[in-house]
Amino acid sequence: MKQKFNIITSTCIPLPLENVDTDQIIPARFLKATTREESFFGENLFRDWRYDKENQPKQDFVFNKPDFKEAPREGVHQILVAGKNFGSGSSREHAAWAIAGYGFRVVISSFFADIHKNNELNNFVLPVVVSEAFLAELFQSIAANPQMQVEVNVPEQKVTNLATGRSEHFELNGYKKYCLMNALDDIDFLLENTDKIEDWENVNK
Amino acid sequence: MNTLFDKIWDKHVVQNVPDGPTQLYIDRLYCHEVTSPQAFAGMRERGLKCFRPDHIYCMPDHNTPTHDQDKPIEDPIGRTQVETLAKNAKDFGLRHFGMGQKDNGIIHVVGPEKGLSLPGMTIVCGDSHTSTHGAVGAVAFGIGTSEVEMVLASQCILQQKPKSMRINIEGKLGKGVTAKDVALYLMSQLTTSGATGYFVEYAGQVVRDMTMEGRLTLCNLSIEMGARGGFVAPDEKTFEYIKGREYAPKGADWDKAVAYWKTLKSGDDAVFDKELTFQAADIEPRVTYGTNPGMGIGITERIPTIDTIPSAGVESYKKSLQYMGFEAGQSLLGTPVDYVFLGACTNGRIEDFRAFASIVKGRRKADHVIAWLVPGSWLVDAQIRQEGIDKILTEAGFEIRQPGCSACLAMNDDKIPAGKLSVSTSNRNFEGRQGPGARTVLASPLVAAAAAVTGVITDPRTLMN
């Protein structure tokens, strides 16, 4: 869903696993939908890690633990913090719809898979790449105090662990930053540039 | 600088957005039923028509049942998705190869075999295995649904230019070692994120010697080491493969095309952001033991012990072995197998069926093994019958199913039951990939065939002359 970004300050949900693939984020059997209802995908985010075969919550999965089970809202659980190589595997954008649908606005990791990173950006979920050291400290901060908050400042491209005060700059190109801050998507841009596309075709055909 | 990737990419640049991505022109968009409906819906909401409908081809493959394709799909939701693609193709004026038609199959098998995917092209599809088409010397990569919509609307996509990597594989592959083993070996060396951010050019003697089918398998798996795509510079073998195919250029157009395609190679002075070289002699038939494709070993090796795993990866490693029911330090040889799957965009081509048949010929399927043999397309199916491979398989107790993605991701009925062990020629061993609770060991068609006839994980070299 198109929404404007500025500064987000929120508690986090930690998922300290590496190589979380998009088949786990949203299993293939939920890909049969022909609409983009984010609430449907959000309900099935991490389905097989969150629920057992009888559809009962698995108590050992972080989303079901008392400290983290509250659904995201302003300032609460709007940030997912995940281990290295988040979103690997399948290109399914349904994974980004599920993350957005659950209520996350930011995902912090030390490394994202390419296609999934683009999919998040195209759905107004911000992937924030931090150093391994920042990530390790952030996991520790959340373990010590699940109520701790992180500030993600999009205009300044700065992420801060408010428990330790540690800050880092994160990458975001000027074009995408403008899009995120003004809730514009790439198709809006491309449609304004069809003359350039026709020029290219005239030269190359 | 001056790599083949640069040449193809740069030729397709419509503009470089200041402090932003590249606007890249796309020669070919393939759409399947799973990742396109929301893109078409978006087009309708915006009141748009396709910018270049003749550049776009649609075919269902993920939901396709592998039996009775002449009848409606039993699963109503899957059926709706397949019917939605047909309707979208009709409404937007796009070519559609419907389920059960002789043109249909897995999109990444059909594109090259029909001569739709050609050297020098930019090719995208809402599917991470679009990298397959790189085998013909194209820049081909998977995209998300929003990006599918961009291409429908403008025949362009906005992308950051990836970095370039060349992977050389030198020497000669040993007995029983296939393109699949080469790819599984590369993933284990690079990990599933080792090539993230890169486009890979595969080179070296092994790649030059490789058949087109082998190159398609190798390029298909580029994404499993994180690469956006992988390709092989076109050569005589490529031209021979493409010549005469249905959509390939003909007559004077062919000569003109080949003259251009011959220029498609990295310069002698090409500079890659990263270059790696591996030796064929280090590669044996391989199997995976974990829940990502990088967790693999040579078939005679043992599962790594925990002291060899970097600390941040220990939790994932433990979770993986627990899911698979394997022990650290264990050999997989002799492990009982419940299911065998031959097929997918990775290994559903004629050469894969020939390889499988070469092992099972004169043997019998193990009684307790359930085997699903699924050709990648109706064209592959026809070739199987033409070459008499169907008879070898039938005599050995196997049956050939109808084409589609099938048990690779189990969106149709072909689901491996929870807890069962599958030796699969597909591309991913993620938790639940082949069905909730299913346990997947990725391997080549030769290893799959050896498992199917012995009922346990077996080194195929022991069954070869």
With beta carbons less than 8 A apart as the criterion, state whether A26 and A161 touch.
Answer: no
ipTM of predicted complex: 0.95
How far apart are the C-alpha atoms of B206 and B172, rounded to whole Å?
6
Angle, alpha carbons B393-B398-B403 (nearest 5°): 90
A23 → closest Cβ in B78, B81, B433: B433
Q: Is residue A23 part of a domain?
A: yes
| Residue B445 backbone phi and psi in degrees, to 5 | -60, -35
Q: What pLDDT is stored for residue A205 in this prediction? A: 79
Q: B312–A84: do the CB atoms touch at under 8 Å? A: yes
pLDDT score for B328: 96
One-letter amino acid at B416 equals I
Q: CA A117, A118, A120, A126 torsion: positive or negative?
A: positive
Domain membership of residue A1 (yes or no) is no
**Per the CB < 8 Å rule, is A53 touching B23?**
no
Residues on chain A touching B312 (C-beta within 8 angstroms): 18, 83-84, 132, 136
pLDDT at A203: 96
Please give the pLDDT value at position B313.
85
Nearest CA in chain A to B126: A91
Is A153 part of any domain? yes
Instruction: For B290-338, write each residue's pLDDT tens digit.
Output: 999 999 999 999 999 999 998 888 989 999 999 999 999 999 999 999 9
CA-based angle A180:B157:B49, to the nearest 5? 100
HSE-up (13 A, CA, CB side) for residue A65:
13
Residue B14 contacts A where some CB pair is shorter than 8 Å: yes
- CB-based contact, B320 to chain A, within 8 Å: no
Give the closest of A118, A132, A187 to B153, CB-based: A187
Q: A173 contacts in B (CB within 8 Å)?
A: 19-21, 160
Q: Which residue of B has its CA nearest to A86?
A: B193
Dihedral sign, Cα of residue B103, residue B108, residue B114, residue B118? positive
Interface contact A84-B196, CB threshold 8 A: no
Work out how many CB contacts closer than 8 A connect A with B: 194
A196 belongs to a structural domain: yes
CA distance linking residue B173 with residue B272, whole number of Å: 25
Specify the pLDDT at position A38. 86
pLDDT over 90 percentage in chain B: 98
The pLDDT assigned to B410 comes to 95
pLDDT of residue B310: 86
Q: Report CB contact under 8 Å: A16, B315.
A: yes
Q: What does the pLDDT read at residue B312? A: 80
- The percent of residues in chain A predicted with pLDDT above 70, rounded, is 100
Q: Identify the residue among B158, B406, B411 best suited for mutation to test binding to A, counting A beta carbons within 10 A and taking the highest.
A: B158
Which of B33, B316, B415 is the best residue to mutate to test the A interface, defined by the most A CB atoms within 10 Å of its own CB? B316
Query: CA-CA distance, A158 to A170, in Å (whole number)?
Result: 6
Using CA coordinates, name the residue in chain A closest to B436: A48
Alpha-carbon span A33 to A26, nearest angstrom: 12
**What pLDDT score was predicted for residue A2?**
85
Q: Phi then psi for B184, rounded to 5 degrees?
A: -65, -35
Amino acid at B297: I
Per-residue pLDDT at B181: 98
Burial class (CB within 10 angstroms; exposed 0-12, middle 13-18, buried 19+) of A192:
exposed
* E-assigned strand segments in A60-162: 79-82, 106-109, 126-129, 149-153, 158-161
Q: Is B255 helix (H, G, I), strand (E, B) or coil?
A: helix
Cβ-Cβ contacts under 8 Å, A189 against chain B: 17, 158
- Whether B136 and B248 have beta carbons less than 8 Å apart is answered as no
> Is the pLDDT score of B110 beyond 80?
yes
CB spacing of B81 vs A24 below 8 angstroms: no
Quickly state the pLDDT bin for B350 (edges 50, 70, 90).
very high
A197 membership: H or E segment, kind and range: helix A194-204
CB spacing of A91 vs B127 below 8 angstroms: yes
* pLDDT computed for residue B304 by the predictor: 96
Strand order in the sheet with B163-170: B229-231, B198-203, B163-170, B274-279
Give the residue among B350, B342, B334 at the shortest CA–CA distance from B462.
B334
Please answer whether residues B324 and B439 qualify as being in contact, where contact means their C-beta atoms are separated by less than 8 angstroms.
Answer: yes
- pLDDT tier for residue B444 given thresholds of 50, 70 and 90: very high
Asked if pLDDT for residue B256 goes beyond 80, the answer is yes
Give the contacts of A55 (CB within 8 A, at least 6 positions apart): none
CATH number, position A44? 3.20.19.10
Q: What is the DSSP letter of B457?
A: -
The pLDDT assigned to B433 comes to 97
- Strands of the sheet with B421-424, listed across from one edge: B370-373, B339-342, B421-424, B439-442
**B186-216 confidence digits (pLDDT tens):** 999 999 999 999 999 999 999 999 999 999 9
- Residue type for position B6: D
Residue A21 within any structural domain of the chain? yes
> How far is it, in rounded angstroms, from Cα B25 to Cα B22?
10
Domain that holds residue A73: 7-204
Q: Identify the pLDDT of residue A128.
A: 98
Lookup: tokens for B426: 């597909």
| Cross-chain CB nearest to A186 (options B77, B150, B292) | B150
pLDDT tens readout for residues B389-425: 999 999 999 999 999 999 999 999 999 999 999 999 9
d(CA B128, CA A89): 7
Instruction: Return all residues near B20 (Cβ < 8 A) that are at least 6 apart.
Output: A173, A174, A175, A176, B158
- Inter-chain CB proximity A193 and B18 less than 8 Å: no
Does the distance separating the beta carbons of B430 and A89 come in below 8 Å? yes
Q: What residue ranges in B263-369 does DSSP mark as E strands?
A: 274-279, 286-288, 296-298, 339-342
Smallest CA–CA separation between B75 and chain A, in Å? 10
Q: What is the pLDDT along chain A (205 residues), one digit of tens a residue?
A: 788 999 999 999 999 999 999 999 999 999 999 998 889 999 999 999 999 999 999 999 999 999 999 999 999 999 999 999 999 999 999 999 999 999 999 999 999 999 999 999 999 999 999 999 999 999 999 999 999 999 999 999 999 999 999 999 999 999 999 999 999 999 989 999 999 999 999 999 7
Report how far apart, in Å, the C-alpha atoms of B65 and of each of B68, B134, B399 are: 7, 28, 15
C-alpha distance from B361 to closest chain A C-alpha (Å): 35
What's residue B252's pLDDT? Answer: 97
> Residue B160: its chain A contacts at CB < 8 A?
173
Q: Which of A25, A31, A137, A201 to mutate to test the interface with B (most CBs of B within 10 A)?
A: A31
Backbone conformation region of residue B82, classed left if phi is above 0, alpha if psi is from -120 to 50, else beta: alpha
Q: What is the mean pLDDT of chain B?
A: 97
- Identify whether A15 is part of a domain: yes
Report the pLDDT value the prediction gives residue A96, as an integer from 0 to 100: 98
Looking at the structure of chain A, the number of domains it has is 1
Residues 195-234 of B with CB under 8 A from A: 196-197, 223-224, 226, 228
Residues B297, B97: Cα–Cα separation, whole Å: 39
Percent of chain B at pLDDT exceeding 70: 100
**Which residue of chain B has the CA closest to A194?**
B154
Whether A187 sits inside 8 A of B144 (CB atoms) is no
Q: Which residue of A has its CA nearest to B191?
A: A19
Instruction: Name every chain A residue with its beta carbon within 8 A of the beta carbon of B128.
Output: 89-91, 115
The answer to whether B322 faces chain A, any CB pair under 8 Å, is: no
Name chain B contacts of A114, Cβ cutoff 8 Å.
162, 196-197, 226, 228
Domains of chain B: 4-274 (3.30.499.10), 285-463 (3.30.499.10)
Give which of B140, B139, B135 is closest to B238, Cα–Cα: B135
> How sure is the predictor about B235, in pLDDT bands with cuts at 50, 70 and 90?
very high
Task: Locate the chain B residue with the closest alpha carbon to A38.
Answer: B38
Complete DSSP assignment for A6-58: SEEEEEEEEE--SS-BHHHHS-GGGTT-SS--HHHHHHTTTHHHHB-TTSPBP
Chain A residue numbers touching B153 (CB-CB < 8 A) = 187, 190-191
A21-to-A86, B262, B309, B433 alpha-carbon distances in Å: 7, 39, 19, 10
Residue given tokens 């055909």 in the structure block? A205
Classified as helix, coil or strand, B342 is: strand
* Chain A nearest C-alpha distance from B181 (Å): 19
Among A31, A44, A17, A33, CA closest to A90: A31
Backbone dihedral angles phi then psi of residue A16, each to the nearest 5 degrees: -80, 45
Q: Output the 3-class SS for B166-230.
A: EEEEECCCCCCCCHHHHHHHHHHHHCCCCCCCEEEEEECHHHHHCCHHHHHHHHHHHHHHCCCEE
Task: Give the Cα separation of B42 and B50 in Å (integer).
Answer: 12
What sign results for the dihedral spanned by CA atoms B418, A90, A122, A188? Answer: negative
Contacts of A136 (CB under 8 A, 6+ apart): B312
- CB of B128 within 8 A of CB of B134? no
Q: Does B358 touch chain A (CB under 8 A)?
A: no
**Position A2 in a domain:** no
- Kindly list the residues from chain B whose CB atom is less than 8 angstroms away from the CB atom of residue A132: 312
Cβ(B88)–Cβ(B40) under 8 Å?
yes
- β partners of residue A12: A79
The CA-to-CA distance between both ends of chain B, in Å, stands at 46
